[in-house]
Amino acid sequence: MSGYFTRERFGRPQFLAGLLLVAFLAQASWLVKSQWHMQWISQSQTKNGAEESEGERIAAGWSQWHGHGIAGAPYRDARAPATAFADVPNPGDAYDVERSPLLPLVSAAPLLVLPERWWNSDAFSYWGWLTRLPFLACGVFLGASLWYVARRLCGNHGGFVALALYCFSPALIQASAVWHTEPEIVAAWGAFGAIFTAIAVAHTLYAPREVVLWNWRRIVLLGVSLAIATGAQFSMIVVVPLALAFLLYVAPVRRQAGAVIWLAACAAGFVLLFAAYFFHAHAFAASMGHAAFWGATWRAFAIPGVYRQVAAQLGRACPAFVLAVPVALVTYAMWPRTRYFGNTAPLSVALLFLVLGMAHPHLGGAGFLLAAVPFLFLFVAGVLADLTETRYRPYVTAGIVGLLVANTVWSLLALGRVGQG
């Protein structure tokens, strides 16, 4: 046990990273409190589409947990406890073509710890915020994953730059709080985990061991990541071939072993996705038959307004992107030292997700755009970390600190303007 709790695992960097994640959680929790106050205490308020969708999702998840069908396969009249969801409209007899039952189950899971008799309209206004806890956890886990990967790729400085940008990103805070939006944070976490778990597995293939059996933990982790990404958004199935591509690229001398590991992870992910349907083969088969795994349309690329909209969304995701992304891209293009795998991989994935976000005009597009943001954080942090190793380090460091402070202040001020209803 003493070998595990070492300074390398639990030292000053981990403590500071933990403080940043606590700040992130506090901001997201503030949004949850604000929206829940307005949404459930003010009964006269007209709900928007996201709030109605959330009510349907929670009710469908509760219904599935209690054996009343499978959420979204198809949606039926949800049998919610007591009258907590009496005002939720009947979503009709239709399949969810965008997602599996994973999100409804996750949304309703926190409600299972409380007695069903508590679920009337009055009680739900006090306890319903529990349904946001899984998504807050996903936001924290994604931030921790980003910091771990960034620190491994570009050291402590790069790790803290990436994490500081993440923890004060309005888009990530909003997504984790599910504040007037859909819970794309789950798909973003799954996609990030799938890509970098595949890369981590590929690096272990250079070890002189029986890689398939020795890597069983990472195989399971890769399978879980693939299941989370695909289950939260069917069109995220693109991370499955991406994981294979990175496996084969990083470990070209062990491609056969890499392919076997990828197949094993895909099998594990398939079982987990099937488990989200509670192993109901008919519901699973019917849902897969209706699933929109590819809903891209290329007509959007001929519309100039789409590019402006994506640029505006990236600016809202992180105000620091307005300066940081152009600087990182110019540096990457002009300085060969920055064009290595640790910078190229996240940039490539981010660009792919941005393209797919533009090509998916419906729900999936928002998920791809959000999933691109952590990869952009990693790319920016990597290039800035490279710049700090030049003779201009004092100036670069001062610029980075100023950028992070300005981004933090802007985010906090915007958060402070959120009304209490």
Residues 6+ apart with CB under 8 A from 311: none
Residue 247 or 254, more confident: 247
CA distance 402 to 388: 14
CA distance 128 to 35: 11
Per-residue pLDDT, 121 = 53
How far is residue 34 from each of residues 1, 129, 185, measured CA to CA in Å?
A: 42, 11, 19
Given a cut of 70, whether residue 355 has pLDDT beyond it is: yes
Per-residue pLDDT, 222 = 95
Lowest mean per-residue pLDDT among 16-30, 190-204, 207-221:
207-221
Under 8 Å between Cβ of 240 and 231: no
Residue 343 or 41, more confident: 343
- Give pLDDT tens digits for 265-274: 999 999 999 9
Quickly tell me which residue has 């030049």 as its tokens: 390
Average pLDDT over residues 282-296: 87
Place 203 in a pLDDT band, splitting at 50, 70 and 90.
confident
Token couple for 190? 């799954």
Given a cut of 90, whether residue 164 has pLDDT beyond it is: yes
Per-residue pLDDT, 4 = 46
Quickly tell me which residue has 């299972």 as its tokens: 112
Residues 6+ apart with CB under 8 A from 357: 310, 365, 366, 367, 368, 369, 372
Given a cut of 60, whether residue 89 has pLDDT beyond it is: no
The per-residue pLDDT of the chain, averaged, comes to: 84
Place 75 in a pLDDT band, splitting at 50, 70 and 90.
low
Average pLDDT over residues 188-197: 96
Average pLDDT over residues 227-236: 94
Per-residue pLDDT, 238 = 95
| Three state DSSP letters for the chain | CCCCCCCCCCCHHHHHHHHHHHHHHHHHHHHHHHHHHHHHHCCCCCCCHHHHHHHHHHHHHHHHHCCCCCCCCCECCCCCCCCCCCCCCCCCCECCCCCCCHHHHHHHHHHHHCCHHHCCHHHHHHHHHHHHHHHHHHHHHHHHHHHHHHHHHHHHHHHHHHHHHHHCCHHHHHHHHCCCCCCCHHHHHHHHHHHHHHHHHHHHCCCCCCHHHHCHHHHHHHHHHHHHHHHHCHHHHHHHHHHHHHHHHHCHHHHHHHHHHHHHHHHHHHHHHHHCCCCCHHHHHHHHHHCCCCCCCHHHHHCHHHHHHHHHHHHHHCCCHHHHHHHHHHHHHHCHHHCCHHHHHHHHHHHHHHHHHHHCCCHHHHHHHHHHHHHHHHHHHHHHHHHCCCCCHHHHHHHHHHHHHHHHHHHHHHHHCCCCC
Of 227, 231, 229, nearest to 73 (Cα)?
231
Of 218, 211, 234, nearest to 102 (Cα)?
234
Place 386 in a pLDDT band, splitting at 50, 70 and 90.
very high
User: Which phi and psi (to 5°) does residue 125 adopt?
Assistant: -70, -20
CA distance 25 to 167: 8
Of 187, 155, 177, 192, nearest to 346 (Cα)?
192
Given a cut of 80, whether residue 66 has pLDDT beyond it is: yes
Per-residue pLDDT, 273 = 96
Per-residue pLDDT, 175 = 94
Percent of the chain clearing pLDDT 90 (strictly above) = 52
Token couple for 113? 């710890």
Average pLDDT over residues 188-202: 94
User: Which phi and psi (to 5°) does residue 75 adopt?
Assistant: -70, 140
Residues 6+ apart with CB under 8 A from 273: 100, 102, 227, 230, 231
Place 246 in a pLDDT band, splitting at 50, 70 and 90.
very high
Per-residue pLDDT, 72 = 80
